[in-house]
Amino acid sequence: MKSFQVAGIDISTCHFINGERISSEQTLKNTSPIDGQFLGDFALGDTKEVDLAVNAANAAFPAWRDLGPHGRGEILERLAKLIEDNVETLAQIETLDNGALLRSHIRGVMPRAAANIRFFAEWASNNLKHEPFETRGHSNNVSWDPSGVAALITPWNAPLMLATWKIGPALAAGDTVVLKPAEWTPLTASFFADLTVKAGMPKGVFNVIFGLGEQAGAALTKHPGISRISFTGSVPTAKKIARAAADNLTPITFELGGKSPLIVLEDADLDLATTLAVEQYDNAGQVCLSGTRLLVHQSVADDFTKLFIKKASLIKQGDPRVEETQMGPQIHKDHLSKIAGFVERAKEEGAEIVLGGAPNEHLGGLYYQPTLVMKPDTKSEIFREEIFGPVLCMQTFTNDDQALNMANDTEFGLAAVVVSGKREHAAKITKNLVAGTIWVNCFFIRDLRAPFGGSKKSGIGRDGGTWSFDFYADVKNTVIAPNGWKE
Ligand code: NAD
């Protein structure tokens, strides 16, 4: 078995197929965004390995389906507990792999990964019910039946958290799984596979294929042996996956990008508004939900800007393993160049940069400064496209209609933040805002019972509670007649 020591832990660099570690001829070098440290040569899968994994998952499906929600729940509960027992280790290796803050991984992200598994297992046992109803004496009986093999494709910005957000409901629904994690962040998926063995999960129920999107990912999404595709990532990739899924009419769910608005009304508490605005730099701006368009009422814009710059200037950038650090590096040099490119082109077009605007020269490496672009043209790419870095744009408005029009004038619809001191005023704005999630005077409160997903180009479908099972399961109605019985 090929493995590599990361933070003192043995991490296999091979695929996990039918409970076995399988290597590939081709490998991809994995390095840490923190300091370029080598983190192993990971297998690069293609059609052959994808076939093996999908076949294994199909072979394991009937027995997993027949275990029922309670039988599966026992194994999933052990898995959730194992994640909790390994929070520190998972946090260490995830931070090395994607550069996000260690303390966030320990206190929030990894416990949440465990919750993702436990919550959906419990929901399948306790909440997935629909009262029978009658039609002319016939009873209608709704069930959520396991559908087959779910192909799960995930990005690098919150690797294990986003993977378990799919793995939890898919396995709880009775599907078996083939996961393709992002090529830049394979570590926690590999460690997680070992935890499924310790939890006693039968062989073939959970499989991981490492590899490039255009090879392993493409082979997986066009495979006729899968019953579902759940994808989190960018819009251009989603379009390719939709085309691949079309051939087999495989059902898809997409959680995609955003260019969400954070609206500060004239009656807002500016201390709260600026604190929430600074939080949009979380995870070095690599958060799909970030409110990257700050839309501020003209009458409070000057005060807002001064306070925002004062607070954002205090953000401590540096090594994400250090407790005091508030912002780590970007994920990869290609991603850093993409972010820098957006800002450079905005500068060439005359945009005013009032904070940051360049890589952090003092730190070097992959660090980019928190940046605020003041009043760019609302038609410019920096105001319209997802940058996925620590770059916010600010615009002003003079009335509610203008704020709403500006907020909705985007191809995305993932999230929105509204800051106001008056409930009715906030409600007037939220009513016609187009977004899957709206936060009023808060940010990032997420409950697994709530629907989550994007409108417009930010996604297709909703996850959370029963919405997740509506996707992973085959929802069935069995109509039973009152007559015809011989017993
Ligand atoms: P990406 O689309 O480049 O890659 C995501 C995954 O898709 C990776 O595993 C990649 O290997 C795979 N992939 C790439 N090409 C493929 C293909 N042709 N077929 C199948 N799979 C393929 O996205 P990224 O850069 O890794 O992630 C950033 C994006 O993810 C941003 O747009 C961000 O907004 C979005 N995101 C959305 C959410 C959400 O919940 N809405 C959460 C996190 C990230």
Burial 376-399 (b: 16+ CB within 10 A, else e): beeebebbbbbbbbbbbbbbbbee
Residues with Cβ within 8 Å of residue 393, at least 6 apart in sequence: 292, 293, 294, 372, 373, 376, 382, 383
Average pLDDT over residues 28-55: 97
Mutate to test the pocket of ligand 1, among 109, 153, 289, 410 (most ligand atoms within 8 A of CB): 153
Question: Distance (Å, rounded) from C-alpha 376 to C-alpha 294?
Answer: 11
Average pLDDT over residues 160-171: 98
HSE-up (13 A, CA, CB side) for residue 440: 13
Tell me the two tokens of residue 187.
Answer: 């570590």
**Domain segments of the chain as ranges:** 3-256+458-477, 261-440
Strand 437-440 to 415-419 pairing: parallel
Distance (Å) from CA 129 to ligand 1 centroid: 33
Tell me the two tokens of residue 67.
Answer: 């275990």
Query: What are the DSSP calls for 57-93, one per residue?
Result: HHHHHHHHHHHHHHHHHHHHHHHHHHHHHTHHHHHHH
Read off the pLDDT of residues 428-453 as tens digits, 9 standing for 90 and up.
999 999 999 999 999 999 999 999 99
Strand 252-255 to 228-232 pairing: parallel
Residue 111 confidence class, pLDDT cut points 50, 70, 90: very high
94 Cα distance to chain centroid: 15
- Write the DSSP symbol of residue 448: T
Residue nearest to ligand 1 atom 40, measured at CA: 255
CB of 436 closer than 8 Å to CB of 459: yes
Average pLDDT over residues 84-92: 98
> Residue 7: what pLDDT?
83
Distance (Å) from CA 251 to ligand 1 centroid: 18
Residue 219, pLDDT above cutoff 80: yes
| Closest-lying ligand 1 atom to the alpha carbon of residue 236 | 2
Q: Above pLDDT 90, what percent of the chain? A: 98
Average pLDDT over residues 453-461: 98
Mutate to test the pocket of ligand 1, among 243, 288, 458 (most ligand atoms within 8 A of CB): 288
What homologous superfamily does CATH list for 3-256+458-477? Aldehyde Dehydrogenase; Chain A, domain 1 (3.40.605.10)
Residues with Cβ within 8 Å of residue 252, at least 6 apart in sequence: 228, 229, 230, 231, 241, 242, 245, 460, 461
Residue 394 confidence class, pLDDT cut points 50, 70, 90: very high
Tell me the two tokens of residue 12.
Answer: 């296999």
CB of 439 closer than 8 Å to CB of 418: yes
Question: Distance (Å, rounded) from C-alpha 282 to C-alpha 143?
Answer: 40
Question: Distance (Å, rounded) from C-alpha 294 to C-alpha 277?
Answer: 7
Residues with Cβ within 8 Å of residue 466, at least 6 apart in sequence: 123, 127, 128
Longest dimension (CA), the chain: 84
Question: Distance (Å, rounded) from C-alpha 21 to C-alpha 232?
Answer: 25
Average pLDDT over residues 408-419: 98
Residue nearest to ligand 1 atom 30, measured at CA: 233
| Ligand 1 site residues, Cβ closer than 6 angstroms | 153-157, 162, 180, 182-183, 213-214, 217-218, 221, 232-234, 237, 240-241, 255-258, 288, 386, 388, 414, 454, 459
Question: Distance (Å, rounded) from C-alpha 45 to C-alpha 83?
Answer: 26
Residue nearest to ligand 1 atom 23, measured at CA: 233
- Write the DSSP symbol of residue 311: H
Read off the pLDDT of residues 301-335 as tens digits, 9 standing for 90 and up.
999 999 999 999 999 999 999 999 999 999 999 99
> Residue 463: what pLDDT?
97
CB of 309 closer than 8 Å to CB of 277: no
Residue nearest to ligand 1 atom 10, measured at CA: 213
Q: What amino acid occupies position 117? A: I
Question: Distance (Å, rounded) from C-alpha 440 to C-alpha 344?
Answer: 33
Query: What are the DSSP calls for 216-246, one per residue?
Result: IIHHHHT-TT-SEEEEES-HHHHHHHHHHHH
Average pLDDT of the chain to the nearest whole number: 97
Residue 399, pLDDT above cutoff 90: yes
Residue 1, pLDDT above cutoff 70: no
Residue nearest to ligand 1 atom 19, measured at CA: 218
Which are the catalytic amino acids? 255, 288
- Write the DSSP symbol of residue 386: -
Mutate to test the pocket of ligand 1, among 215, 237, 455 (most ligand atoms within 8 A of CB): 237
Distance (Å) from CA 155 to ligand 1 centroid: 5
Distance (Å) from CA 330 to ligand 1 centroid: 16
Residue 69 confidence class, pLDDT cut points 50, 70, 90: very high
| Closest-lying ligand 1 atom to the alpha carbon of residue 158 | 43
What Å distances lie between residue 121 and 113, 118, 147, 153, 470, CA to CA?
A: 13, 5, 16, 21, 15
Average pLDDT over residues 106-127: 98
Q: Phi and psi dihedrals of 345, rounded to 5?
A: -65, -35
Distance (Å) from CA 130 to ligand 1 centroid: 34
Distance (Å) from CA 268 to ligand 1 centroid: 35
Domain 261-440 has CATH 3.40.309.10: yes
> Residue 269: what pLDDT?
98
